[in-house]
Amino acid sequence: MTSLLVLSGALNPACKKPENRLSDMALARVRLDVMSSRPARKHWKGNLKAGVWKALVEDARIRDLQATVEA
């Protein structure tokens, strides 16, 4: 499932076609999960220092929205 989300562009916050990606709120929840200190299985998240995962982690809009999700 994770690879399907990555390959389809659904996890890319900069995707030009919003209908092809998850909502900002969903992306904020994904970011919350992958940035958690709780260990995740390797196939659940990719390399946070490259590709779409890096874009998701570094996106300021999603980071700010994550703060409201956590509250």
pLDDT of residue 43: 74
* Cα–Cα distance measured from residue 47 to residue 53, given in angstroms and rounded to the nearest whole number: 6
pLDDT at residue 17, rounded to an integer: 81
In angstroms, the CA 38 to CA 54 distance is: 19
pLDDT < 70 stretches in the chain: none
Q: Nearest-CA neighbor of 45 among 71, 11, 8?
A: 11
Handedness of CA 51, 12, 66, 35 (dihedral sign): negative
Question: What is the pTM for the complete model shown?
Answer: 0.85
- Strand, coil or helix: what is 64? helix
Residue 12, judged by CB atoms within 10 A of its CB (0-12, 13-18, 19+), counts as buried
